[in-house]
Structure formats: structure tokens, C-alpha cells
Amino acid sequence: MADDTLTEVETPKESTGTKTEVYLGLLWLGITVFTAYASINGVKGAPGPLESAIEAMPDVISTSLVTAASIAAAASSRAASALGRLFIGLAAGAAFGVVTAIGVRFAYGPGASVTMLSITVAAACVLGGVFAMLPGPMIDSSLWAMTWVLFAGLILSVLKTNLLLLLGGGPNATEAAQATAESRFLLLQPIVAGLLAAMHSVRWLRPENPPVFWFGITGALSGIYLLATEGLGHLGGKVLSSTTPDGAAADALLTNADKLKYAVIVLAVGGVLGLLIGARKPKD
């Protein structure tokens, strides 16, 4: 009897840290939406609600997708099969998508264009739910890595002026030097983000001792999340372009070649470095 009790007490409860990731995702999404809302309503001379909404939409889409994936992963964590996790993830993503779309709709105001952007955000949440079908350790690790990718994008943007000086640019440099520094910065950003994606995906996945190729796939998932964001933004921009007078401007803002390049580099760097780092045997 004592042995049974001891065994029961010592058996650890399964925990992947997904609840913490859900909290961070909701916090990040709240900050993103609130910042965009404040820029529309609290800054003198700010562009109109539609223009501000469009500019903020890539960030809102990406954070919505990641947060929905976190919620879906937590909701489906006890499902044994990939199909079961998919169904639960889709339901969780759809429910969260409705709530988020309503929030975006009220934040940015009325209008067919804003409604279309709200639908795009809801679609991102549903797509985030699809990722719940992945094995639990893989999606949990990739979501932690994606949190660092988003954080890196924010920090590097804040430090951009100083980094451009280090890269040979700045107000006193020639136009050619400034352009070169800008190009270097646009390359530096996704490389740093991909490195962080690889490091943190391996860090969270290592205790599971998975096959080596899992490290590469998990490291690349941050880039896949970003590509999904760009794809949804492009689709939303195309729909706006064909249905509203402001659609051409929306399509131009939502379809950004630099962001697509950013996502591809994060995917490649995260995948390759994740595989290389994961293949190394940890020191005892």
C-alpha cells in the first residue's frame, strides 16, 4: 500500500509549458492590438483607421495565428491521434478566431474593409488551430521559438537606427552607403530570428530525445508560421483589392516582398541550424 502511494506521488504530471505559452501569446496579442488602436485614436496626424489597420494587420495576423496555435495545442494535448488533435484544434481556433475578429472589428471601426481584415484575422486563428495536429513536443517547442522570433523582430526594429550606423549607414553616410546598410539590416534581421528559432526549438525539444530530423522541422516551423501570415495577408489584400475602393492600397501594403523574403530566410536558417544543433550530442 505504501509502495502504491509512493509511486502515485512520484509520478510527474504531464506538462509541456503550453499554458505559459498561451499566456504569453494572449499578452503579445493584446499589446499588438492595443498599440495599433492607440496609434489610430491617440496620435495627432495619424493616418485613417483603414490605413492604420492595414499597416498593423501583418503583426496582428501573426500573433493571432501563434496564440490560436497555443490555445489549440493546450486544448488538444490529451488527444492521442493527430486527427483528434486536428478536430479539437480547429474548434479551438475557430472559437478564438470569432472572439479576435470581433475585437479587431470594434478596435478599428466599421466598414467593409475592416470587416474583411477581421475575417482574415479569424482565418489566421483557424489556421493556427490546424497546427495542433503536430506532435505535442514539436508544436510546443516551435511556439516557444516563435515567441523569440517575434521578440527579436521587435527589439531589432527598436535598435534599427544604431544598427544601421554599425552597418555603415546613418544620416552622414552617402545614399549608396545608406542603401547598403539597409540591405544588410534586412538580411541581419531574419538571420538573427532564425538563429533564435533554432536555439529555442532545440532547447525545448531536447528533453524528448526525438529523431534528429525533428529538430530541423521544428526549427523551420517559425518560418512556416511567418509564411502562413504572409499568405493570409496576401489573400486578404487581393480580396480587398477586388471588392473595395481602397483595395489597391491595401493589397500593396499587405503584399510585401521583403516580409516574404524574411519568412523564407527564417525558415531556412531555423531549419538548417536546428538540424545541426540538434544533431550534436549534449555534454553530460
Whether the Cβ atoms of residue 145 and residue 69 lie closer than 8 Å to each other: no
What pLDDT does residue 209 have?
87
Which range has the worst mean pLDDT, 4-18, 33-47, 214-228?
4-18
From the CA atom positions of the chain, what is the Rg in Å?
21
Tell whether the model's pLDDT for residue 275 goes beyond 60.
yes
The mean of the pLDDT values for the chain is: 77
Nearest-10 crossing angle of helices 257-279, 212-243: 170
| Cell triple for 36 | 495599433
Whether the Cβ atoms of residue 138 and residue 225 lie closer than 8 Å to each other: no
Q: C-alpha distances in angstroms, 89 versus 92, 96, 206?
A: 5, 10, 25
Q: Could you state, in order of their start, the residue ranges of all structural domains in the chain?
A: 15-133, 135-284
Among residues of the chain, what percentage have pLDDT more than 70?
A: 69
More confident residue, 175 or 221: 221
For residue 171, give the amino acid letter: P
* DSSP character string of 60-106: HHHHHHHHHHHHHHHHTTT--SHHHHHHHHHHHHHHHHHHHHHHHHH
Tell whether the model's pLDDT for residue 202 goes beyond 60.
yes
Closest C-alpha among 75, 201, 195, 88 to residue 139: 201
Tens of pLDDT, residue by residue over 110-158, are 666 677 778 888 999 999 999 989 988 898 889 889 888 988 888 888 8
Whether the Cβ atoms of residue 226 and residue 240 lie closer than 8 Å to each other: no
Assign 164 a pLDDT band (cuts: 50, 70, 90).
confident
What pLDDT does residue 76 have?
85
What pLDDT does residue 50 have?
53
Whether the Cβ atoms of residue 104 and residue 32 lie closer than 8 Å to each other: no
What pLDDT does residue 16 have?
46
Which residue has 536546428 as its cell numbers?
274
